[in-house]
């Protein structure tokens, strides 16, 4: 159950948000090896944010997954997400952090139970 939350100080309209969500969902499913039917992606724009003492366009992401994360894939995920944000929102790759969290299934609720 990969879940990605993105936050940025760049305004994000509904059309751009839909494109980013779609592109991120596909990338996560492909790189983590999970069905896209379990992928959840959200994005919040226009959030006050400072990165390196600057309010230039920046973003922060948190990616949680039950398995599928690790040294071999995290760099690919970071590159793919940074590429999407750069293409869609003109956020430089050097102004994007992403936190990876590989969790145990019993710590994730879904459909009234846990995994």
| Active-site residue list | 2
Query: Which residues in 9-39 are b (16+ Cβ under 10 Å) and which e?
Result: bbebeeeebeebbebbbebbbebbebeeebb
Strand partners, 41: 4
């Amino acid at each position: 159950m990969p879940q990605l939350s993105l936050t940025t100080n760049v305004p994000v309209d509904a059309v751009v948000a839909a494109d980013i969500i779609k592109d991120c969902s596909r990338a996560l499913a492909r790189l983590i090896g999970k069905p896209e039917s379990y992928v959840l992606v959200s994005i919040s724009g226009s959030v006050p944010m400072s990165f390196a003492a600057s309010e230039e366009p920046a973003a922060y992401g948190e990616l949680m997954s039950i398995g599928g994360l690790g040294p071999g894939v995290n760099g690919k995920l970071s590159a793919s997400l940074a590429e999407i944000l750069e293409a869609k929102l003109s956020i430089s790759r050097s102004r994007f952090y992403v936190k990876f969290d590989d969790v145990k299934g019993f710590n994730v609720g879904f459909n009234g139970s846990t995994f």
